[in-house]
Structure 1
Amino acid sequence: MHTTTMTRVTSLIGATLLGLTTLQASAAPEIPPIPAVQGDVVQAEGDFKIKFSIGTTQSGAQYRGLEYFEKIVEQRSDGHIQVELFHSAQLGDDLQAVSNLQSGTLEMTAPSTSPLVGMFPEFAVFDLPFLFPTPEVADKVLDGEIGQKMLDDASRQGLVAIGWAENGYRQLTNSATPVTSPDDLDGLKIRTMQNDIHLGIWRTLGANPTPMSFAELFTALEQGVVDGQENPWITIEASKFIEVQDYASETNHVYTPFITLVSERFWNRLPAGYQQLVRDAAKQMGDYEREVSRTLNDQIKQQLKQAGMQITELTPEQVEVFQEKLAPVYDDWRDEIGGELIDAIRKASQ
């Protein structure tokens, strides 16, 4: 090939690759930067190590929050507390991690509340439908007296509960039809977690809830074993459900928090100054993680739209129809969860 022609081809290939790289870069979510650490160095005796394990991936909002926690604790302890992060259930799933806290072989974890309902029945309140109408209401409840009391009540059985973050709102996708009312769900097979409240929600709405493990879900959707599923936008995108689901509805039907837990055995070894440092860091981590979570969710919803998923955003009137239909779920669970807790949250939501 002539030298000039070769140069042109090389330039063309280079420009094409550069264009692809730019396209990929523009599609990548813009995550809020990790804030600077505020506060003086805490003076206390001893050197400590914290292994902090979560079930979510390294690319998610939760891990980003953990990186901020690590930065705060290591800087403000002047390196006397070293933090090691483990993502993607490397040290076990949520329940295994909690068990390891109780035995003292792991220092910290931050599971969703849903797997802990067996230990703390009041956590089932977070599985009730449409309890938190906005993220701001969720923050107000969890960061106020109600959230603090729930942390205090969960500080037993070898655990110390010190803060909240968010897993976020769950959304509905399916391969059959746009969903704007309960009537659209009639007979649809919807995959749910093995959770009695979630099964009750979809049964009450007229769907056919089908519990199965998350690991089996993509194949089940692909083969038509189930028609739809419900998860936060981040999970929907990361799991590539757009390949097997044409329709989505932004239902925000269940809001799930993460709870930050410490091993009581480890906690009792920490000097009071370091205990307070870890508490403060957990609060700052939670605030930042929520910001990242909400930023990612908004960006990812737009990316799914642009990629061809038909997303229906329910109006307040449409949401009200779902809420009215689901009133019996509250009646069924009122005694088990605690009517006072449900009423207190509803009052704070107004």
Structure 2
Amino acid sequence: MYALKRTFFIVMSSLGIIVMLAGCQQTRYPVDHEQLSGEERLVIRFSHVVGEDTPKGLAARRFASLMKERSDGYIEVQVFPNSMLYKDGEEMEALSDNDIQMIAPATSKVTSIVPEWSVMDLPFAFDSYEEVHAYIKGKTGQELISKLDQQGLVMLGMWDNGFKQLTNRDFPINEPTDIKGLNMRIMPSDIIEQQFNLFGASAVKLDFDNVFQSLDEGLIDAQENTMSNITSKSLHYRQEYMTVSNHGYLGYVLLMNKEFWEDLPDEVRSLIEETLSEVSEWQQEIAHKLNDQELSKLEECNCIEITHLSDEEKQQWEEAFSPVYDFYRGRFGAKNINSLPKIKGGNKE
């Protein structure tokens, strides 16, 4: 009888262990993340070049927090803002080498590997954020995304920053011809360079983290940027005039190293996609509100003279910059331009 009871106990114990192990296999992530070493966690290094209180900085932190929470600490997104890890011009190479796994460069920055993306830099190409996102979700946008994939990069979404304004230290800019003679800081984009060279400015391609110092030292006279970028880097303290022109869209392309992405388990990829989709909606709302708030602050501080272009003046600027569209067509054809919402609507030739 004792032997029978002992055998029964061993069998039931074994069954219990099997059930327990099966339950463990169904657990998506380790539960007690505090006990995990760095080697046991899945680490995603996310580098960017702007401040933590900008739309991109805030969204990156939110993404990291949600990923930690939803994976029970298994997935650790390490965010490195303000060029802490890599400078503006170094991020793309670091991502390709998998030294970092995620970046969110401005659309202009990806033109270094896929020049066709410079369609996003065309002056007055978009009148609203909704137009931007509809374009990216459409056929042409998906073709642009596929070109990134061919370069070993996976695009996981797009975050807004805002529409760009002009600032300079010398005089109010009311017409495009007013930029003549200015040393204008731009992001690395042939289209943006063409835009400012068209009216006699000298376009200077410069990393964002060097803009304030270059303004301070007089190496550049002017720059274009969104409200939140202008204030987060205190650029308005080195500029006397600002023109609210909304002449170009500035957004960020969320990129991950393709090899790293494809090595991730399906459930991890799904969690990243779901979380980024949620964060992107939040980020876009924050970006729009923050730019409006920063403009109000600049108007109240009396620290920079502000000129607002009327709708009629914007139309005149848009027509003046039409040769830039011809420059793009000459390099890449008309397809990407013809898919822009305002051109499909018949508002441009």
- Pair in the same fold by TM > 0.5: yes
- 8 Å Cα contact 1:146/1:345 also seen in 2: no
Q: Distance in 2 between matches of 1:71 and 1:208?
A: 42
* Count of residues in Structure 1 that have an aligned counterpart in Structure 2: 309
Tell me the equivalent position of 2:270.
276
Q: Distance in 2 between matches of 1:123 and 1:92?
A: 23
- 8 Å Cα contact 1:204/1:325 also seen in 2: no
Q: Distance in 2 between matches of 1:299 and 1:276?
A: 35
The 5 Å alignment of 1:149-228 reads 149-212=143-206, 214=208, 217-218=211-212, 221-222=215-216, 226-228=220-222
Q: Distance in 2 between matches of 1:101 and 1:200?
A: 28
Tell me the equivalent position of 1:107.
101
Q: Distance in 2 between matches of 1:97 and 1:204?
A: 30
The 5 Å alignment of 1:18-33 reads none
Tell me the equivalent position of 1:294.
288
- Which amino acid in 1 is paired with 2:247? H
Cα shift at 1:198: 1.9
Out of 157-166 and 330-339, give the one that drifted further: 330-339
**Per the alignment, do residues 315 and 92 of structure 1 end up closer, same or farther by CA in structure 2, a change over 3 Å counting?**
same
1:117 aligned counterpart, secondary structure: helix
**Per the alignment, do residues 264 and 208 of structure 1 end up closer, same or farther by CA in structure 2, a change over 3 Å counting?**
closer
TM-score (norm 1): 0.78
Cα shift at 1:296: 1.5
Tell me the equivalent position of 1:316.
311
Given the alignment, which residue of 222, 226, 234 partners 1:240? 234
Residue 274 (structure 2) pairs with residue 254 (structure 1): no
Residue 56 (structure 2) pairs with residue 62 (structure 1): yes
TM-score (norm 2): 0.79
Q: Distance in 2 between matches of 1:89 and 1:313?
A: 32
- Per-residue displacement from partner, 1:147-204 (whole Å, max 9, x unpaired)? 3443333123332111111232221112333222224334444333454322211122
Tell me the equivalent position of 1:22.
none
Q: Percent of pairs identical after alignment?
A: 30
**Per the alignment, do residues 143 and 210 of structure 1 end up closer, same or farther by CA in structure 2, a change over 3 Å counting?**
same
Tell me the equivalent position of 2:38.
none
Residue 113 (structure 2) pairs with residue 119 (structure 1): yes
- 8 Å Cα contact 2:56/2:283 also seen in 1: yes
Residue 326 (structure 2) pairs with residue 327 (structure 1): no
**Per the alignment, do residues 120 and 186 of structure 1 end up closer, same or farther by CA in structure 2, a change over 3 Å counting?**
closer
- 8 Å Cα contact 1:137/1:348 also seen in 2: no
Out of 315-324 and 53-62, give the one that drifted further: 53-62
1:301 aligned counterpart, secondary structure: helix
**Per the alignment, do residues 98 and 199 of structure 1 end up closer, same or farther by CA in structure 2, a change over 3 Å counting?**
closer
- Per-residue displacement from partner, 1:270-298 (whole Å, max 9, x unpaired)? 12222122122222222222222221111
2:255 aligned counterpart, secondary structure: strand
Tell me the equivalent position of 1:27.
none
- Which amino acid in 2 is paired with 1:313? H
Q: Distance in 1 between matches of 2:286 and 2:295?
A: 14
